[in-house]
Amino acid sequence: MLELGKAGTAGTGKGVLPVLCDGSVVATVQSARWREAATVTVGGRVWEYARHRRELVARRSGDPEGAARLRARQTSAWKGTWAIELEGTTIDVRPASRWKATHRFLMHGRPVAESGTTPGWTPRATVTMDGSLPVDQQVFLLWWEHVVRRRAAAAAAA
């Protein structure tokens, strides 16, 4: 299970979120404050996550500005479905539970992951994987879940 940790914990700097897998840090996320963007380090590789038009995209740090290795686009706002392209692999995202705001990630109709939250006063996003995706792609799914939760919280507060 991947879990987004608290900022500044697990040996990360101030304002840096650790991505934990069974208690050990596998990546770090430094989010932009007012934009849906982040700089993510996974195993020594630096990724740039951002919103480009109506999509959430990710590219490696050395890639050209318009390139996107990973992308997520909403396919239906009414149904809450998304399509996430992970370097040639398409993941369909469906709501798993309206009450808990969790999602199920499907590849070729087969579940590969499910989202959740940590317990407590300030729940953080988690994604439980079946292990069929590389860590880079798993971290992108976790960041996508984090962004979707932030959007829902902002809409509820408005």
Instruction: Determine the Cα–Cα distance for residues 112 and 138; give it in Å rounded to an integer.
Output: 10
pLDDT at 113: 94
Give the residue ranges of the chain where pLDDT is below 70. Answer: none
- Do the bridges between strand 2-4 and strand 102-107 make them parallel or antiparallel, or are there none, so unpaired? unpaired
**70-112: pLDDT as tens digits:** 999 999 999 989 999 999 899 999 999 877 789 999 999 999 9
Instruction: Determine the Cα–Cα distance for residues 129 and 48; give it in Å rounded to an integer.
Output: 23
Render 4-46 in DSSP notation, one character per residue.
E--TT-TT--TT-EEEEETTEEEEEEEE-SSSS-EEEEETTEE
pLDDT at 27: 94
List the one residue out of 27, 1, 52 whose CA is nearest residue 136.
27
Amino acid found at 109: G
Domain range holding 132? Answer: 2-157
pLDDT at 158: 80
Q: Are 47 and 53 in contact (CB under 8 A)?
A: no
End-to-end CA distance of the chain: 32
Q: What is the CATH number of the domain that holds 126?
A: 2.40.160
- Do the bridges between strand 125-129 and strand 2-4 make them parallel or antiparallel, or are there none, so unpaired? antiparallel
* Number of structural domains the chain divides into: 1
Q: Is the pTM of the predicted complex or chain greater than 0.85? A: yes
